[in-house]
């Protein structure tokens, strides 16, 4: 699924209450539309002090709704019509005052009136809090947030960091891209709700000396995409990541490691507590038997200046096979990154590891890229997931795993 279709067919009612974070809402409108959504903006009077309706209308290409007395609606009922057309109502920013209004059921302006009048079963309410850290931490706000969740609203954030007042802490509205991704995730089917997934991703790095090591070209992008897709599907996800420079998907617990031994030590104690283990990481098969204490120098200091250094290798533990051999093993999914004879090697790995599913791909064709093609291999046969972006493939794989979990006796 391309970036421009992830929210295709969705109509978002975007509400803005008063707060400096309104500037982020302009970018949010742009990103939602770029993802395929249509956006109707509704602003409180306080929001107009921070950003103009003209800006929001220009970005959304829709008239901005501002007053419950706006006669442009044929029946003069914008608070009814707006939510009947919407797939979701997202309030971003949601100030402390507006959150209090929602909890109390107040309806003294168009935005609060609309939130109260929406058909909750067809138009869910998402709120992105935005306020000073002390306001966020105040017991009254925390009581209101708890009640808001109990009433069925979804609270997105807040984030942590620099605030407009100069203070630092919780209370920032999430960034526009984060809110877009949260909305995309919200619409994903919750096929793995209540399940716990353990995923490995990226390469490992096996040091030779303090500055050099053995590694591979894996970027970790496929594993991170699977972690995101699993979290979108409602799972609790733990991601054990080798040395990669990728942002952690929201809602995913991350454990960083470098070597294969460290990955083994991170995975094995956790594995039995999970429903699914997905071994996406390209783990080094071998490591130096000994690590040189100092950098191996090419400076003529060796007995033979022209001789290349040599070192003994020892085999790394097989993480996937070890998890598959546990008495209370999770459902195990292995990855096979091959350079040729993909089906042959994937099937051999399926039998050798003793797992129900191997996902094969051609490593040189995918390392570092944002797209891929996958081959699913099990005891019954094989099925190809056609070339696509890695997140779309990850969602397909998660659907496949969810089906297999459902069918498992």
Over residues 102-144, the pLDDT tens digits come to 999 999 999 999 999 999 999 999 999 999 999 999 999 999 9
Task: Identify whether residues 351 and 261 lie together within a single domain.
Answer: yes
Whether 368 has a pLDDT exceeding 70, the answer reads no
Q: Which residue, among 155, 103, 104, 149, has the nearest Cα to 129 in the 3D structure?
A: 155
pLDDT at 31: 97
Task: Identify whether residues 129 and 208 lie together within a single domain.
Answer: no
- φ and ψ at residue 162, rounded to 5 degrees: -65, 140
Task: Identify whether residues 24 and 68 lie together within a single domain.
Answer: yes
Whether 88 has a pLDDT exceeding 80, the answer reads yes
Q: Which residue, among 135, 46, 24, has the nearest Cα to 90 in the 3D structure?
A: 24
Q: How many domains does the chain have?
A: 2
pTM score:
0.88
Residue after which a domain boundary falls, among 121, 154, 187: 187
Tell me the pLDDT band of 165, cut-offs 50, 70 and 90. confident
Do residues 225 and 393 touch, judged by C-beta distance below 8 A? yes
pLDDT digits (tens, 9 = 90+) for 210-260: 999 999 888 999 999 999 999 999 999 999 999 999 999 999 999 999 999
**Mean pLDDT of the 8-27 span:** 97
Task: Identify whether residues 203 and 322 lie together within a single domain.
Answer: yes
Q: What is the CATH number of the domain that holds 76?
A: 3.40.50.1950
Tell me the pLDDT band of 97, cut-offs 50, 70 and 90. very high
pLDDT digits (tens, 9 = 90+) for 267-321: 999 999 999 999 999 999 999 988 888 888 876 655 555 677 788 899 999 999 9
Domain range enclosing 309: 196-288+303-407
Mean pLDDT of all residues belonging to the chain: 92
Q: Which residue, among 29, 39, 94, 30, has the nearest Cα to 65 in the 3D structure?
A: 39
Do residues 2 and 30 touch, judged by C-beta distance below 8 A? no
HSE at residue 47, side-chain half, CA atoms within 13 A, is 34
Do residues 397 and 357 touch, judged by C-beta distance below 8 A? no
Tell me the pLDDT band of 342, cut-offs 50, 70 and 90. confident
**Mean pLDDT of the 189-204 span:** 96
Quote the crossing angle between the two packed helices 22-34 and 176-187, to the nearest 10°: 50
Whether 366 has a pLDDT exceeding 90, the answer reads no
pLDDT at 387: 84
DSSP reduced 3-state for 331: strand
pLDDT at 301: 57
In a domain, 128, yes or no: yes
In a domain, 297, yes or no: no
22 is catalytic: no
């Amino acid at each position: 699924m391309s970036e421009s279709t992830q929210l295709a067919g969705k109509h978002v009612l975007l509400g803005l209450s008063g707060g400096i974070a309104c500037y982020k809402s302009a970018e949010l409108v742009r990103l939602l539309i770029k993802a395929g959504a249509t956006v109707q903006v509704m602003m409180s009077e306080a929001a107009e002090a921070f950003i103009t309706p003209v800006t929001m209308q220009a970005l959304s290409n829709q008239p901005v709704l501002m007053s419950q007395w706006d006669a442009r609606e044929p029946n003069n009922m914008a608070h009814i019509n707006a939510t009947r057309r919407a797939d979701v109502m997202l309030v971003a920013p949601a100030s402390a005052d507006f959150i209090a209004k929602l909890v109390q059921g107040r309806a003294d302006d168009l935005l609060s009136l609309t939130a109260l009048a929406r058909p909750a079963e067809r138009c869910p309410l998402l709120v992105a809090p935005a306020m000073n850290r002390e306001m966020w931490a105040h017991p009254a706000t925390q009581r209101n947030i708890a009640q808001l969740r109990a009433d069925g609203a979804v609270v997105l954030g807040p984030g942590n960091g620099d605030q407009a007042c100069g203070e630092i802490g919780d209370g920032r509205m999430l960034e526009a891209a984060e809110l877009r991704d949260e909305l995309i995730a919200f619409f994903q089917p919750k096929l793995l709700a209540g399940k716990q997934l353990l995923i490995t991703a990226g390469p490992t790095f096996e040091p030779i000396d303090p500055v050099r090591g053995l590694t591979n070209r894996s970027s970790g992008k496929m594993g991170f995409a699977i972690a995101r897709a699993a979290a979108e599907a409602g799972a609790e996800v733990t991601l054990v990541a080798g040395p990669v420079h990728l942002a952690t998907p929201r809602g995913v617990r991350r454990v960083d490691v470098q070597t294969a031994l460290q990955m083994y030590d991170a995975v094995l104690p956790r594995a039995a507590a999970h429903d699914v283990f997905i071994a996406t990481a390209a783990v080094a098969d071998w490591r130096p038997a000994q690590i040189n204490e100092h950098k191996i120098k090419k400076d003529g200091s060796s007995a033979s200046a022209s001789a290349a250094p040599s070192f003994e290798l020892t085999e790394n533990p097989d993480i996937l096979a070890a998890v598959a051999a546990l008495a209370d093993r999770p459902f195990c999914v292995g990855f096979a990154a091959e350079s040729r004879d993909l089906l042959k090697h994937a099937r051999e790995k399926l039998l050798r590891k003793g797992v129900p599913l191997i996902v094969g791909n051609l490593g040189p064709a995918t390392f570092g890229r944002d797209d891929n093609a996958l081959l699913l291999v099990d005891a019954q046969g094989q099925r190809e997931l056609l070339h696509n972006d890695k997140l779309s493939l990850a969602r397909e794989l998660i659907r496949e795993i969810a089906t297999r979990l459902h069918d498992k006796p």
